[in-house]
């Protein structure tokens, strides 16, 4: 097994492990992979909302040699009775999605699995990934994929294997075409026409004569079911243009005593997906603006009492409180009004109202389809997850914000900055940092990094130096004001100020020394302690919102020196957070 080349860069000691059962955890993978070499970290990728495993993970090794050994010895091995699929982790999505060097193989024998497919194709070059598509029962779907490191090896494999026998079947081998391109190609090249609602009394000759007037056809077929009032059929044209013309002209055409329906022939999965989309859209249009979602409903509130509370706002078409298997209320419900105006009145008056005997205020809002709620929740989750500061080193194996298993308990290290070191921050955004000590300067607060050299504040409010620290400095990044009074047997001074190694003033000239992401890191360090006194635990989230808002560096810098502007931005951020929280919340259906 060769290592990734410079033309196809990957995190060299990071492996992708796929085809995992949902029950496989980081601990299970650690036991398996740590037996091959020392593992630095493992992450099983999970759904951002349900936290259910997505069926793949990333395993990072300290050594490239250990990663190679794991790839060679553990690929296609059983993990909880299912063969796993291991490949080098490829962090560049463009290289993964272009499909260069990727082959599609179909008409595979059911016994052919990942290992058999890999063994058959590995003689033509170095393979990055090899997979046989499986159903939920772990059975082969009859097709698979082989991704070569070198496109020339892929072309050689096509020439050597296409049309040959693997197992007991002759296989097709060709370049992999992404689904999007396949759909686009199909829309411009389809030739098969489906016709339904055909009068069963129509014979085959009439059926063929009707469709052949638009172009040469082959494989005409009409299917009649005994006892059925209608028949259906298929007609395959030689040219795409002829098929399009037949659909345009014959859809709705009266043949015998019935009007036939003509369209492009589709697979069952395509038809089901289309019907589902149409049904969901019809349902959304029917109830949009009039169906309310109510949560925080107490157990003793039934549908009749809930209807009574909301009936004052208009005509209620339906009222429903779902119950569990034991007949207990699930704590939420739905009320459908006749008009959107009635629904809006109910929202305005009933949202946050505490009903008699209730402990919590009601949450009332327009009901939204599950998919829309999922998109909103996913967006909120991703927004929260991307609050980590980009100047800090992140793990090589996946997006920020997801739990990682570190066997040794260590976290990623430091990123050096010119003339200073910026310590790691929390992955989930700006959070309390013990090194931040806000220092009052008049009516405004400035962020301050205190050192561990023993600088403390005495009872009189002055800052005294109680330790000399190491080296020539008393502290780092700290402004210390030292006052000395009249002392016995020594020199007397009225007042002495000692300016210690203070943090540099943030100006555009200073910030321009750093890349844009590091500029935001420096600004975030100064903004965070300014927000903490008024917002507490929300300071981290608000700081992250500022940094990810798309504002210019000049705009962020101006907030350090303009307290009114900063407070105005904080209020806007709080409004956004409040709307996001009240819009839907974590609902259930």
Intra-chain end-to-end CA distance of the chain, in Å: 49
- 8 A C-beta contact, residue 148 and residue 128: yes
Token pair in block for residue 308: 């009574």
Q: Nearest-CA neighbor of 430 among 578, 558, 530?
A: 530
Alpha-carbon distance of 23 to 179, in angstroms, equals: 29
Q: Examine the pLDDT at 33 and tell me if it is beyond 90.
A: yes
Domains of the chain, earliest start first: 14-149 (3.30.70.330), 191-264 (3.30.70.330), 286-367 (3.30.70.330), 425-449+504-589 (1.10.1900.10), 458-502 (no CATH)
pLDDT interval class at 552 (50, 70, 90):
confident
**pTM of the entire predicted model:** 0.46
Q: Nearest-CA neighbor of 231 among 197, 206, 254?
A: 197
- How much is the average pLDDT of 121-140? 84
Q: In which residue are the tokens 């080296």 written?
A: 471
Count of beta carbons in the 10 Å neighbourhood of residue 236: 16
Tell me the three state secondary structure of residue 546.
helix
Lowest-confidence pick of 118-127, 444-453, 543-552: 444-453
Alpha-carbon distance of 124 to 154, in angstroms, equals: 8
Q: Nearest-CA neighbor of 14 among 75, 63, 79?
A: 63
Token pair in block for residue 298: 């107490």
Contacts of 359 (CB under 8 A, 6+ apart): 298
Q: Examine the pLDDT at 511 and tell me if it is beyond 50.
A: yes
CA distances 462 to 222, 457, 502, 503, 539, Å, are 96, 6, 17, 20, 28
pLDDT (tens digit per residue) in 151-178: 899 999 999 999 999 888 899 999 988 8
For residue 398, give the DSSP letter.
S
- How much is the average pLDDT of 266-290? 83
Alpha-carbon distance of 206 to 211, in angstroms, equals: 9
pLDDT (tens digit per residue) in 69-128: 998 889 888 898 888 888 888 766 666 666 788 899 999 988 888 888 888 898 898 888
Long-range contacts of 313-321 (CB under 8 A, 24+ apart): 313/337, 313/342, 313/343, 313/345, 313/346, 313/349, 313/350, 314/338, 314/339, 314/341, 314/342, 314/343, 314/345, 314/346, 315/342, 317/290, 321/297
- 8 A C-beta contact, residue 57 and residue 44: yes
Lowest-confidence pick of 203-217, 238-252, 483-497, 559-573: 483-497
């Amino acid at each position: 097994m060769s290592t990734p080349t410079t033309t196809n860069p990957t995190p060299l000691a990071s492996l992708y492990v796929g085809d995992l059962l949902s029950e496989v955890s980081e601990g299970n993978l650690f036991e398996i992979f740590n037996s091959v070499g020392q593992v630095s970290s493992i992450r099983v990728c999970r759904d951002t909302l349900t936290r259910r495993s997505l069926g793949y993970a990333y395993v990072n090794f300290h050594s490239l040699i250990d990663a190679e050994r794991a790839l060679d010895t553990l690929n296609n091995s059983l993990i909880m009775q299912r063969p796993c699929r291991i490949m080098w982790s490829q962090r560049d999505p463009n290289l993964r999605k272009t499909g260069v060097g990727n082959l599609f193989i179909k008409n595979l024998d059911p016994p052919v699995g990942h290992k058999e497919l890999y063994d058959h194709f590995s003689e033509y070059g170095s393979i990055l990934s090899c997979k046989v598509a499986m159903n939920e029962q772990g059975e082969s779907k009859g097709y698979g994929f082989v991704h070569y490191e070198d496109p020339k090896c892929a072309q050689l494999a096509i020439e050597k294997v296409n049309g040959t026998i693997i197992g007991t079947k002759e296989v097709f081998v060709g370049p992999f075409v992404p689904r999007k391109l396949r759909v686009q190609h199909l829309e411009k090249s389809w030739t098969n026409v489906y016709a339904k609602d055909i009068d069963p009394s129509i014979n085959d000759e009439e059926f063929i004569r009707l469709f052949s007037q638009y172009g040469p056809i082959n494989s005409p077929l009409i299917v009649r079911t005994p006892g059925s009032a209608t028949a259906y059929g298929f007609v395959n044209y030689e040219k795409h243009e002829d098929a399009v013309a037949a659909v345009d002209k014959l859809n709705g055409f009266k043949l015998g005593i019935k009007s036939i329906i003509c369209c492009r022939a589709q697979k069952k999965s395509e038809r089901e997906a289309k019907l589902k989309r149409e049904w969901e859209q019809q349902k959304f249009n029917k109830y949009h603006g009039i169906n309310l979602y109510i949560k925080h409903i107490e157990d003793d509130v039934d549908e009749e009492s809930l209807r009574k509370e909301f009936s004052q706002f208009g005509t209620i078409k339906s009222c429903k409180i779902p119950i569990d298997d034991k007949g207990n209320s699930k704590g939420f419900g739905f009320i459908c009004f006749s008009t959107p105006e009635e629904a809006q009145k109910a929202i305005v008056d009933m949202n946050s109202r505490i009903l008699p005997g209730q402990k919590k205020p009601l949450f009332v809002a327009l009901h939204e389809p599950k998919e829309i709620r999922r998109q909103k929740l996913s967006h909120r989750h991703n927004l929260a997850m991307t609050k980590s500061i980009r100047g800090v080193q992140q793990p090589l194996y996946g997006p920020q914000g997801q739990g990682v298993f570190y066997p040794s308990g260590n976290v990623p290290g430091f990123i050096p900055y010119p003339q200073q070191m910026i310590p790691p921050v929390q992955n989930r955004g700006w959070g309390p940092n013990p090194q931040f000590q806000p220092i009052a300067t008049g009516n405004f607060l400035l962020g301050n990094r205190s050192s561990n050299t023993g600088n403390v504040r005495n009872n009189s409010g002055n800052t005294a130096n109680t330790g000399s620290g190491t080296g020539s400095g008393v502290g780092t990044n700290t402004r210390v004001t030292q006052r000395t009074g009249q002392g016995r047997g020594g020199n007397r001074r009225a007042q002495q100020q000692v300016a210690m190694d203070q943090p540099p003033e943030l100006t555009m000239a200073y910030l321009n020394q750093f890349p844009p992401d590091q500029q935001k890191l420096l600004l975030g360090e100064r903004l965070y302690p300014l927000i903490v006194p008024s917002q507490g635990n929300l300071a981290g989230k608000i700081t992250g919102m500022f940094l990810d808002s798309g504002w210019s560096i000049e705009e962020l810098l101006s907030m350090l020196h303009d307290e009114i502007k900063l407070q105005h931005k904080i209020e806007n951020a709080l409004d956004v957070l409040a709307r996001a929280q009240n819009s839907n919340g974590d609902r259930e259906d």
